[in-house]
């Protein structure tokens, strides 16, 4: 974006990138402007957004459930899927932050009197739309519709909710922020971007036409299991308390889940709505129900989608983390009634606390081993040894508190222990994984000054574009290697650009499929090598723009099974245009 001087059309691999709108590109480019081009600069805006989401979650929960606010923030900040996405999926981190802030602002607007947060709803939705498209409005509308359906507010209270949302000025504010860029990008690409983005990248994506990966309606259960580990083991209790029990009272007068009526008075049939304003107890209950309905609606929606990726469920991490924190805070308290409706849930919660202490004891030697095992080609940070000691100390303290039946203190220590484990181990693990790719990085840096056309054989490696500072063609089949001379170079053979192929040793074994071609190794870094074909050439893949224009010219519907396969990744590199200079 900076190099081409184009701040309207998204580019990746020096070509138009149709999959996502512009906002994440702006954030990265602005960070580059201020801090220079680096990995730190590229990730800084999204680290800030993740921090903003955690703080927004904390202050929102404090408005409704003060005792659970800190625990909710800790659970959200230490959710493994959120941490992983922060390193690998900046678009989903930004989208999750904006759309969850919109939900938090909605809760405060609806359930707290004299709230002035309604503009934040529409600003956040507009930013989410500029991050990932109309999915923001669709998911928000689906979640809110689910909440209204299960909440069953009276006509007067529903009208009060709508009044507080300020729909007309809010929609105008949303359109003023979200629409101008779509108009500009459509004009800049003669309508090609908007046609492909809305039809292919949204409609066809939901239909499963844009991604080779396929899942099932159970796909996101294991994703949630590791995504909010270890708290996932309490998710059934959280949904029972905050979703199914209220539905039981509202729709079935408590017959669906017996024994909960006394604990959920805001939902009891005999409690008439004497006021348009909610009591603190009603606001708390409605807040939990809103988060439950919204998170579950997303889970169902993406489970029904034909295209499924782990990060799709990322926006549900915040509401699930808050619900789990609220559930744990409730179960940690001693029951006030003789006939405790949460008796078995408390028993499971206490067993869960013992389980966490046992896991800490088991992880301590593992962390100590990894602090030593890497002392070869790669040295893991000494923080792993510190983590091992902290896990032992935490486990001992947990067991002491459990023996004294200090459930709340044990819960606090357990949450801090999980957060400490994630914060200390994750950088070491990611550093080790990065080290495994260091051969590729070193080879790319060695080739960065070459004037050759460089191909990557195997998986798509977008980081190569940065390290090589040029477009990179990605090849997935040896069929791209052709014997003979490149016909496109016949007229200008003297100016023909050399072709080099980067591949790791495992993928390079595919070259044997072409026994008549001579692959000469010209450079090597560990398990990665660079080759050139001395008696043939490489057939370049098409750019996304060329592929889509070809489909449109052939009148092939973009939502159909395309003959060229999914067209979301820019495998064919574009043309590097020299930076614009001013006189």
Q: What digits encode the pLDDT tens for the residues 338-385? A: 778 899 999 999 999 999 999 999 999 988 887 776 555 555 567 888
pLDDT per residue over 218-241, tens digit each? Answer: 899 999 999 999 999 999 999 999
Is position 461 within any domain? Answer: yes
Helix (H, G, I), strand (E, B) or coil at 536: strand
**Which DSSP string do the residues of 82-148 spell out, in sequence order?**
HHHHHHH-HHHHHHHHHHHHHHHHHHHHHHSTT---HHHHHHHHHHHHHHH-THHHHHHHHHHHHHH
Phi and psi at residue 299, to the nearest 5°? -60, -45
pLDDT per residue over 388-429, tens digit each? Answer: 999 999 999 999 999 999 999 999 999 999 999 998 888 777
Q: How far apart, in Å, are the Cα atoms of 388 and each of 360, 370, 380?
A: 9, 10, 13
Do 322 and 373 reside in the same domain of the chain? Answer: no
Phi-psi region of 524 (alpha: psi -120 to 50; beta: other; left: phi over 0): beta
Is position 567 within any domain? Answer: no
Residue 271 has pLDDT above 70, yes or no: no
Q: How far apart, in Å, are the Cα atoms of 152 and each of 247, 323, 454?
A: 10, 21, 61
- Which helix (H) or strand (E) segment is 457 a member of? strand 453-457
Is position 474 within any domain? Answer: yes
What percentage of the chain has pLDDT greater than the value 70?
88
Alpha helices in 404-498 (DSSP H): 407-436, 438-447, 463-468
- Which helix (H) or strand (E) segment is 516 a member of? none
Question: Residues 6 or more apart from 322 whose CB is under 8 A from it?
Answer: 57, 61, 68, 72, 75, 76, 291
pLDDT per residue over 437-452, tens digit each? Answer: 788 999 999 998 888 8
Do 201 and 291 reside in the same domain of the chain? Answer: yes
> For residue 21, what pLDDT is reported?
95
The whole-chain average pLDDT of the chain stands at 87
Do 513 and 381 reside in the same domain of the chain? Answer: no
Q: Pick from 407, 436, 465: which residue ends a domain?
A: 436
> For residue 266, what pLDDT is reported?
46
Residue 250 has pLDDT above 60, yes or no: yes
> Nearest to residue 558, comparing CAs of 129, 193, 20, 311?
193
104 and 67 Cβ atoms separated by less than 8 Å: no
The tokens describing 416, both together, are 């801090």
- Strands 453-457 and 536-538, bridge-based pairing: unpaired
Do 217 and 357 reside in the same domain of the chain? Answer: no
Question: Residues 6 or more apart from 405 whose CB is under 8 A from it?
Answer: none
Of 201 and 478, the one with more pLDDT? 478
Q: How confident is the model at residue 262 (pLDDT cuts 50, 70, 90)?
A: very low
Is position 271 within any domain? Answer: yes
Do 307 and 354 reside in the same domain of the chain? Answer: no
Is position 559 within any domain? Answer: no
3-state SS record for 210-263: CCCCCCCCCCHHHHHHHHCCCHHHHHHHHHHHHHHHHHHHHHHCCCCCCCCHHH
Is position 31 within any domain? Answer: yes
Do 384 and 308 reside in the same domain of the chain? Answer: no
Do 506 and 367 reside in the same domain of the chain? Answer: no
Q: Pick from 388, 413, 436: which residue ends a domain?
A: 436
The tokens describing 422, both together, are 């994630």
Residue 210 has pLDDT above 70, yes or no: no
Q: How confident is the model at residue 567 (pLDDT cuts 50, 70, 90)?
A: confident
> For residue 564, what pLDDT is reported?
62
Of 230 and 269, the one with more pLDDT? 230
pLDDT per residue over 49-96, tens digit each? Answer: 999 999 999 999 999 999 999 999 999 999 999 888 877 778 999 999
b/e for 104-137, b at 16 or more Cβ within 10 A? bbbbbbbbbeeeebbebbbbbbbbbbbbbbebbb
Is position 375 within any domain? Answer: yes
> For residue 581, what pLDDT is reported?
40
Domain that holds residue 349: 343-436
Residue 272 has pLDDT above 70, yes or no: no
> For residue 530, what pLDDT is reported?
95
> For residue 209, what pLDDT is reported?
66
Do 424 and 446 reside in the same domain of the chain? Answer: no
Question: Residues 6 or more apart from 24 whose CB is under 8 A from it?
Answer: 46, 90, 91, 94, 131
CA distance 355 to 232: 13
Q: How confident is the model at residue 201 (pLDDT cuts 50, 70, 90)?
A: confident
Average the pLDDT over 547-565 and give the result: 77
Do 228 and 103 reside in the same domain of the chain? Answer: yes
Is position 564 within any domain? Answer: no
Question: What is the torsion angle, in degrees rounded to the nearest 10, for the CA atoms of residue 153, residue 159, residue 160 and residue 165?
Answer: 110
> For residue 516, what pLDDT is reported?
93
Task: Find tokens 């994703």 and name the residue.
Answer: 223
Q: How confident is the model at residue 267 (pLDDT cuts 50, 70, 90)?
A: very low
Helix (H, G, I), strand (E, B) or coil at 427: helix
Do 352 and 475 reside in the same domain of the chain? Answer: no
Do 428 and 453 reside in the same domain of the chain? Answer: no
Q: How confident is the model at residue 99 (pLDDT cuts 50, 70, 90)?
A: very high
Q: Pick from 286, 305, 332: which residue ends a domain?
A: 332
> For residue 129, what pLDDT is reported?
97
CA distance 486 to 349: 68
Q: Give the N- to C-terminal CA distance of the chain in Å, as an integer.
A: 20
This prediction's pTM: 0.89
Q: How far apart, in Å, are the Cα atoms of 163 and each of 118, 142, 182, 276, 287?
A: 11, 19, 29, 11, 18
The tokens describing 283, both together, are 């606001």
Do 414 and 453 reside in the same domain of the chain? Answer: no
CA distance 420 to 431: 17
Q: How many domains does the chain have?
A: 3
> Nearest to residue 39, comparing CAs of 467, 425, 380?
467
pLDDT per residue over 466-511, tens digit each? Answer: 889 889 999 989 999 999 887 776 655 556 788 999 999 999 999 9
CA 414, 419, 425 angle in degrees (round to 5)? 120
Residue 576 has pLDDT above 60, yes or no: yes
> For residue 492, what pLDDT is reported?
56
């Amino acid at each position: 974006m900076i190099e081409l001087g184009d701040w309207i059309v998204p580019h990746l691999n020096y070509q138009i990138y149709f999959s996502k709108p512009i906002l994440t590109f702006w954030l990265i480019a602005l960070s580059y402007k201020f801090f220079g081009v680096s990995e730190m600069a590229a990730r800084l805006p999204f680290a800030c957004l993740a921090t903003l989401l955690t703080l927004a979650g904390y202050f929102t929960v404090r408005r409704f459930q003060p005792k659970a606010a800190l625990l909710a923030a800790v659970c959200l900040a230490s959710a493994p899927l959120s941490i992983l996405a922060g390193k690998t999926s900046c678009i989903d981190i930004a989208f999750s932050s904006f759309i969850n802030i919109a939900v938090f602002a909605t809760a405060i607007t609806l359930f707290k009197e004299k709230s002035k947060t309604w503009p934040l709803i529409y600003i956040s939705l507009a930013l989410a739309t500029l991050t990932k498209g109309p999915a923001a409005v669709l998911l928000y509308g689906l979640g809110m519709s689910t909440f209204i359906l299960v909440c069953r507010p009276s006509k007067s209270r529903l009208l009060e909710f709508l009044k507080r949302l300020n729909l007309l000025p809010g929609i105008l504010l949303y359109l003023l922020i979200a629409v101008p860029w779509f108009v500009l990008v459509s004009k800049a690409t003669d309508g090609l971007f908007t046609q492909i983005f809305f039809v292919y990248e949204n409609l066809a994506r939901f239909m499963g036409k844009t991604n080779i990966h396929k899942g099932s309606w159970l796909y996101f259960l294991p994703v949630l299991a590791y995504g909010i580990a270890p708290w996932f083991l309490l998710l059934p209790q959280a949904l029972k308390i905050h979703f199914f029990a209220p539905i039981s009272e509202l729709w079935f007068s408590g017959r669906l889940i017996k024994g909960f009526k006394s604990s959920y008075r805001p939902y009891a049939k005999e409690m008439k709505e004497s006021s348009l304003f909610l009591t603190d107890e009603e606001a708390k209950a409605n807040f939990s129900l809103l988060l439950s309905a919204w998170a579950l609606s997303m889970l169902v929606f993406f489970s029904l989608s034909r295209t499924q990726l782990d990060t799709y469920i990322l926006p549900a991490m915040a509401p699930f983390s808050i619900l789990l924190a609220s559930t744990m805070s409730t179960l940690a308290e001693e029951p006030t009634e003789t006939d405790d409706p949460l008796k078995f849930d408390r028993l499971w919660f206490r067993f869960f606390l013992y389980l966490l202490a046992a896991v800490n004891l088991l992880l301590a030697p593992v962390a100590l081993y990894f602090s030593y095992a890497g002392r070869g080609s790669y040295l893991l940070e000494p923080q792993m040894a510190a983590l091992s000691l902290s896990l032992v100390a935490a486990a001992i303290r947990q067991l002491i508190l459990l023996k004294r039946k200090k459930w709340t203190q044990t819960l606090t220590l357990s949450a801090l222990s999980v957060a400490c484990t994630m914060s200390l181990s994750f950088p070491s693990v990611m550093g080790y994984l990065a080290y495994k790719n260091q051969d590729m990085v070193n080879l790319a840096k060695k080739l960065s000054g070459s004037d050759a056309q460089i191909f990557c054989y195997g998986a798509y490696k977008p980081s190569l574009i940065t390290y090589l500072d040029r477009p990179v063609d990605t090849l997935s089949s040896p069929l791209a290697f052709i014997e003979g001379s490149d016909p496109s170079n016949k007229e200008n053979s003297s100016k023909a650009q050399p072709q080099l192929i980067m591949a790791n040793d495992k993928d390079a074994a595919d070259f044997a499929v072409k026994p008549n071609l001579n692959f000469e190794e010209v450079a090597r870094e560990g398990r990665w090598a660079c080759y050139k074909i001395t008696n043939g050439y490489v057939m370049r893949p098409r750019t996304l723009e060329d592929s889509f224009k070809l489909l449109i010219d052939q009148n092939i519907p973009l939502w159909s099974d395309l003959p060229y396969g999914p067209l979301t990744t820019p495998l064919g590199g574009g043309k590097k245009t020299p930076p614009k200079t001013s006189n």
